[in-house]
Amino acid sequence: MASDQSSTIKAIVKAFDSDRSRLMDIAQKVQDELGYLSEETMETIAEALGIPLVEVRDMASFYAFFNLEEKRENVVRLCNAVVEKMKDMDSVGRAFEKAAGCAFGETSPDGSIRLEYTPCIGMSDQAPSALINDIPVTSICPEDVPRIIKDLKAGKKYSRANVSSAGAEVDKNLIKAGSVIFSPMEKGSAIRKALNMSPEDVINVINQSRLRGRGGAGFPTGMKWNFCRKTKGDAHYVICNADEGEPGTFKDRVILTECPDLLFEGMTIAGYAIGAQEGFIYLRGEYLYLFETLQKELERRRHLGLLGKNIAGRSGFDFDIRIQVGAGAYVCGEESSLIESLEGKRGAPRDRPPYPVTDGYMHQPSSVNNVETFCAAARVMEKGAGWFSKIGTKDSTGTKLLSISGDCAHPGVYEIEYGECIADLLEMAGAKDVQAVQVGGPSGTCVAPKDFGRTICFEDLPTGGSFMIFGKDRDLLDIVHQFAEFFVEESCGWCVPCRVGTTLLKQKLEKIMAGNGSSLDLKELEDLGNTVKLMSRCGLGQTAANPILTTLQNFPKLYSRLVKGDDFVPPFDYEKALAPGIEMAGRQPVVEEEV
Ligand code: SF4
């Protein structure tokens, strides 16, 4: 390795205090400087940190946004999520291939442009969209593409240096603001109220509000804070999960753009309640363009005495927040994977129990909460538990943000009171002739029109916020297949039921879709789905079969019209079956002659 490159790497490692837990940031910075992470580069990082090379390789090879193969000047990552495909992503993809002169998964002949597909980047309300050198570009038409490629080659508009000013390209799309998240609040007013109480009383107020986690599982927030506070440790940590990777979700994008202060306020209150001095926001890599703006907002709060030492004049209450940027791994939305990633490792889920509240970041008690949950907690402190608990339903107090996308006139973010029914939401979004609604993303529930009276709340249809609408002309089984493919791609591969099971589910589905399935295959598909659900190690595998299981239950005709009777034997095409093997081996099979 050239000595100047080696010096660059060593300087970067030093800038991060040679802290092994900052390995993600170090690798990202080195990649920004040198274009990619070669074997030699990783060796130098390992040496400078005093860790084995395998630890660097293990981490870097896990994340989609680290590039280990070749120097890439410009990378176009076209989002291929379900809603993007509904909005003619394929035509945009073909236009990119034509203009760049290469297929997706390849680099252009002149080496200047790499084309890749990527799962949901949080822009389903303005599809088709792409990340171009980490800059979000939305509502792309095929006619826009030649100009984009020209600008890319000119090296100005899509320079990585412009990433922090890229927010202008993204529409807010806040269609309906409610009283909890999107109403104005004076900076520091909720913190001051909290500081007038003891930490235990703050937790009592959160308990009285009956606030539940907004990620979908709905664990009571006050109870979580209480467990964390009561667990002894060298330090306690507040962690904000801003890794909203569920396809079709983009509500955190709008919170982080419109009211980051509310989030920081909520995290600081959590810090006071659980006895933490440090908080982290794990920001998904796809939202890198928000990083600088959020940093400036944090800095402003430090100047106002709302972060740092002796917050709001309260002697001895010190708390600060650091933003950790992710690198493109859906599984990091799972809290234990997120913590591994935050420690600078590959984002592999941990065995649970122990749960993060007792054994989290650096094996210390940590409270991991969702962006929306922290915002709601701040509002509870500002306006009181009584005010908050009157909104919504008995077991689901407050409001919920929904990211509505797909076949509707007004895609965007809606803040609704818990308890609203799907039919009302469809009317609000201007959706007509709806075949199905996918509530909670691929890992959620596919709801049929007969159930549009069902309501969004923990008692009925809990959701992290994704709400995708499919019109009557959509091929619903093809959408289920896309979800099945998504889980195959995103499985971290650690446990067999998920690693193998997701592939078997996809293959079985393909067999049925090709008209080669019998009613026995349907039974096997359901059994397999239930096995993957029951036996997988973490939430990803436990929900990966949901698109199939919920459509089998709610749309049985989708499947039954394709399958034959129990005694059906599908035709076997010998040459077609051998073709992949012949291609791989590069030769025809040798046929032994009979003696
Ligand atoms: Fe990894 Fe899937 Fe197992 Fe979770 S369930 S640990 S994502 S293989």
| Model pLDDT for residues 533-543, shown as the tens digit of each residue | 999 999 999 99
The answer as to whether 290 is a domain residue is: yes
Q: Are 448 and 462 found together in one domain?
A: yes
Q: How far is CA 26 from CA 44, 324, 570, in A?
A: 12, 11, 53
* Whether pLDDT at 492 is above 80: yes
For ligand 1, the distance from its centroid to the CA atom of residue 283, given in whole angstroms, is: 21
Domain range holding 24?
A: 3-62
Q: Are 223 and 371 found together in one domain?
A: yes
Q: Are 341 and 445 found together in one domain?
A: no
Helix, strand, or coil (residue 242): strand
d(CA 206, CA 196): 15
Query: Of 224 and 4, which is predicted with more confidence?
Result: 224
Any atom of ligand 1 within 6 Å of the Cβ of 333 = no
| Model pLDDT for residues 310-355, shown as the tens digit of each residue | 999 999 999 999 999 999 999 999 999 999 999 999 999 999 899 9
Please give the mean pLDDT across all residues of the chain.
95
Q: Are 89 and 164 found together in one domain?
A: yes
The answer as to whether 375 is a domain residue is: yes
The answer as to whether 69 is a domain residue is: no
The answer as to whether 86 is a domain residue is: yes
Domain boundary among 37, 62, 87: 62
Any atom of ligand 1 within 6 Å of the Cβ of 498 = yes
Q: 170 with 123: CB under 8 angstroms?
A: yes
DSSP assignment, residue 181? S
Burial (0-12, 13-18, 19+ Cβ within 10 Å), 26: buried
For ligand 1, the distance from its centroid to the CA atom of residue 491, given in whole angstroms, is: 6
| Model pLDDT for residues 211-246, shown as the tens digit of each residue | 999 987 899 999 999 999 999 999 999 999 999 989
The answer as to whether 279 is a domain residue is: yes
Predicted local confidence at residue 561, as pLDDT: 95
Predicted local confidence at residue 577, as pLDDT: 84
For residue 498, the domain's CATH number is 1.20.1440.230
For ligand 1, the distance from its centroid to the CA atom of residue 354, given in whole angstroms, is: 17
The answer as to whether 481 is a domain residue is: no
| Model pLDDT for residues 169-201, shown as the tens digit of each residue | 789 999 999 999 999 999 999 999 999 999 999
Any atom of ligand 1 within 6 Å of the Cβ of 85 = no
Q: Are 371 and 423 found together in one domain?
A: no
* Whether pLDDT at 127 is above 80: yes
Domain boundary among 171, 192, 219: 171
Predicted local confidence at residue 4, as pLDDT: 86
Q: Are 425 and 357 found together in one domain?
A: no
Structural domain total, the chain: 5
For residue 88, the domain's CATH number is 3.40.30.10
Q: Are 381 and 462 found together in one domain?
A: no
| Model pLDDT for residues 453-470, shown as the tens digit of each residue | 999 999 999 999 999 999
Q: Ligand 1, closest atom to CA 492?
A: 1
Helix, strand, or coil (residue 566): coil
For ligand 1, the distance from its centroid to the CA atom of residue 55, given in whole angstroms, is: 20
Q: Are 381 and 316 found together in one domain?
A: yes
Average pLDDT over residues 428-445: 97
Q: Are 210 and 290 found together in one domain?
A: yes
Predicted local confidence at residue 168, as pLDDT: 67
Q: 259 with 297: CB under 8 angstroms?
A: no
For residue 210, the domain's CATH number is 3.40.50.11540
Q: Ligand 1, closest atom to CA 542?
A: 5
Predicted local confidence at residue 177, as pLDDT: 97
Residues in Cβ contact with 249 at an 8 Å cutoff, skipping those fewer than 6 apart: 120, 122, 124, 403, 441, 464, 465, 466
Q: Are 190 and 229 found together in one domain?
A: yes
Q: How far is CA 445 from CA 128, 345, 468, 489, in A?
A: 24, 32, 11, 20
Predicted local confidence at residue 594, as pLDDT: 63
Q: Are 204 and 166 found together in one domain?
A: no
The answer as to whether 160 is a domain residue is: yes
Average pLDDT over residues 261-284: 98
For residue 463, the domain's CATH number is 3.10.20.600
For ligand 1, the distance from its centroid to the CA atom of residue 584, given in whole angstroms, is: 29
Predicted local confidence at residue 64, as pLDDT: 94
